[in-house]
Amino acid sequence: FHKDGFLVLEQFFSAEECDSMRSQIQKIVAEMEVPPHCRTEFSTREEEQLQAQGSSDYFLTSGDKIRFFFEKGVLDGKGNFLIPKEKSVSKIGHALHAYDPVFKQITHSPKVQELGRKLGLERPVVVQSMYIFKQPGIGGEVTPHQDATFLHTEPLGRILGFWIALEDATQENGCLWFIPGSHTNGITRRMVRAASGASTCVEFVGSEPAYDDKQFIPLPISKGGLILIHGEVVHKSELNSSDSSRHAFTFHVMEAKGTSWSKENWLQPTPELPFPSLYT
């Protein structure tokens, strides 16, 4: 993990644990109510990101709620669904770990806590969680990025992602790709809250360098596997053009000891939901 910036742990969660998360998310999607004016298409391309999430309070205030974001091209101009709603969801975030009993149990499971201790985390707190669908045929690409661009800390090196494959993740359905060792070069871009009165709620400072595609290695992983992701390692995923989905549950942890969370981050703890301790 320290050398490459990521670590693959196969079969970390059981098939039963994966299935319990998938059936729980089906219930959440079945009960999903999102007013058309709040429906935003999720994108990782910078200009689309600023237009969709950046102009949306719905995204900006989702840190302490369970909210829904949609794949590109599934909504008409009025925000109506062009395909069945359960096939249109891109991700659900960002507080499943706090408000849903199944995801809370997984996030704080004894083996996750034990892993945190093995990594030397003294005061880890959970900052966000997401369920990612990567829908068949339309699951959007995630462009090369570093998580610390969006979750900035002083000092750097205090953010850790836990990425759980709830189905086999293959090169065909959009597994993660990494540049090994790229977590040692700092970050060149940050997404920050814009000044009040700006046309978007967030803006980018700095720019993402052009990465060489040849440097990326794919990380296919079986259902139940866990990938640990250093906050500064460069990673991406391709468009899912296959006919099988690639569901994943992911959450981010910050080592809170001696760390300050940037007041400019889009995501902020709230009085209703201060960042909960990973260790229970």
Domains contained in the chain, CATH given: 6-261 (2.60.120.620)
Mean per-residue pLDDT, 122-150 = 96
Backbone phi, then psi, for 208, in 5-degree steps?
Answer: -80, 130
In the chain, the percentage of residues whose pLDDT exceeds 70 is 97
List pLDDT tens digits, range 177-186: 999 999 999 9
- Mean pLDDT along residues 32-54: 73
Across residues 199-204, what is the average pLDDT? 87
In this predicted structure, the answer to whether residue 54 has a pLDDT above a threshold of 50 is: no
Residue 90 CB coordination number (10 Å)? 23
State the residue for tokens 């993402």. 208
Q: Is residue 50 pLDDT above 80, yes or no?
A: no
* Residue 47 CB partners (closer than 8 Å, separation 6+): none
Tens of pLDDT, residue by residue over 55-97, are 568 888 899 999 999 888 898 888 889 999 899 999 999 999 9
Distance CA 202, CA 49 (A): 9
Q: What span, in angstroms and rounded, lies between the C-alpha atoms of 165 and 147?
A: 18
Say if CB 164 and CB 177 are below 8 A apart.
no
What global pTM score does this model have? 0.94
